[in-house]
Structure formats: structure tokens, C-alpha cells
Amino acid sequence: MLRGPACAGARHPPVTFGLVSSRHQLLLLLRKHPGATVAELARELAISGMGVRRHLASLSAEGLVEQSACTREGPGRPPAGWRLSGSGMELFPRRYDALALDLLEDLSAEEVAGALERRTDKQVAQYQAVLAGCSSLEDKVAALASLRDQAGYLAEWSMVAGDEFVLTENNCAVHRVAEHHPGVCAMELSLLRRVLGPEVEVTRQSHAMTGDAVCSYCIRPSTPG
């Protein structure tokens, strides 16, 4: 049986993922016991080793798990273990928003504005490097939606007309921070405009912080004038 550190007499409620499947249980086991082997995982999940390998192959293809050298002592060559990747670790709740708010509370309004500007400058450079290989506005919008989706915004895009697109963010990854520092929202719009350049017009159509269900942006070529 896999065992982790525990306090005598302590009882901890199980972590659940809603509908708990073998896949989710496997992720939880690897979170609690990094380096677990296929045999150990199969025993804990009460499924075959082949079933565990299928799950691991799928999760590995998604970049959520990776192999690691087994650190357990024993005779002979120890079997390889498995652990969560950095992306896999992000599936579990983390309070980054609380940390960000704590840090920002110690700054003046001018310092907060400066910090947000520096963050935007870094994002602009990162995004522009990715979009550099895109030849059309459609390709740029698709790449931008992918970047925003990876950042936790559940982003998607659609074509309204031949040269007009809508970028929709179904989740605000910085909602709690934006509630206390509205400048974050202005920086988000500035980010999109700077990344796409002056030849592209970006306007916000809906705004979650004002009561809309999502944030969405209309993107189209700028009108000469």
C-alpha cells in the first residue's frame, strides 16, 4: 500500500473531482505519491497493470504525467515510477490570486500600475514571438485564442465575416485580482491591441467585470483614416 506522511489520529476527507474516474484517482495518487510504479498504482486502483498503462499513456500524451526514477531502496534495479508534470500539478487548486492580492496590497497605486505595465510588456513579447509565424489575421486570432486558453481563460474564437473575428474568454483567470484592481482589465485590452498591432482594431464587446457572462473582443482590420 502506498503511504504518505500523516499525523497520528488525523483524518482527512478525500479529495474529489466530481465524478471520480480511474483517471482522476490516478492523478490524485500521483499527486500524493510521486514516483509510484505501475504495479503500485494498479494495486491501489484495483485495476490491471495494462489499464494503468493505458491511462498513463493518455495522460503522458496530454503532458500531465511523466516518468521518474524510482527512489525506493531495494535489491536489483528498481522499476521506473511516475509523477505529475508541471501541467499536471496545475490541475489541483492553488491560491495564486490570494498571493497576488497580498503582494499588491503593500504597493502604492503608482507601484501597482507600474507592475501591471511591466507584466503586460513581458506578455506582449511572449505573444508576439508566437504570432510571428502567422501570415493572416485569422491565423493570429487562432494563435492568440490558444495562448489565452493555455493561460486559463477558456478562450475560443469565431469568424463573424471574412475579415472580422470574435475572441471570447469564458473564464477570467484573474477575476479576484481584477475586482480589487480594475487596471488589470485595461491591461488585458492593451495586451491584445499591442500584440495585433496598429493595423488591427480590437474592441471589447462584453465584459465579465460589468456583469456580462464572458469577456469578448471584436477583432478586425483597422479602417484607414
pLDDT tens-digit profile of 15-30?
A: 333 334 688 889 888 8
pLDDT tens-digit profile of 109-168?
A: 788 778 878 988 999 999 999 999 899 999 999 999 999 988 888 889 999 988 899 999
CA distance 217 to 4: 47
Q: According to the model, what pLDDT value does residue 123 have?
A: 93
- Residues 126, 135: contact at Cβ < 8 Å? no
CATH of domain 96-221: 3.30.1380
Domain ranges of the chain: 22-89, 96-221
Instruction: Write the DSSP assignment of 28-81 as a string of letters.
Output: HHHHHSTTB-HHHHHHHHTS-HHHHHHHHHHHHHTTSEEEE------SSPPPPE
C-alpha distances in Å from residue 50, one per residue of 23, 24, 79, 130, 168 = 13, 17, 16, 39, 40
Cα radius of gyration (the chain):
23
Task: Indicate whether 5 pLDDT > 50.
Answer: no
Q: Which CATH class is domain 22-89?
A: mainly alpha
Q: Which three cell numbers stand for residue 12?
A: 482527512
- DSSP character at residue 7: -
CA distance 112 to 173: 18
Phi and psi torsions of 35, nearest 5°: 95, 5
Q: Which three cell numbers stand for residue 117?
A: 505595465
Q: Which residue has the higher pLDDT, 3 or 171?
A: 171
pLDDT tens-digit profile of 60-106?
A: 999 989 998 654 555 555 667 998 887 887 776 555 566 566 767 77
**Identity at 56, one-letter amino acid code:** L
Q: Which residue has the higher pLDDT, 88 or 41?
A: 41
Site of grid cell 508576439: 128
Beta strands in the chain (DSSP E): 65-68, 81-84, 155-161, 164-169, 200-206, 215-221
Q: According to the model, what pLDDT value does residue 86 have?
A: 78
Q: Which residue has the higher pLDDT, 217 or 69?
A: 217
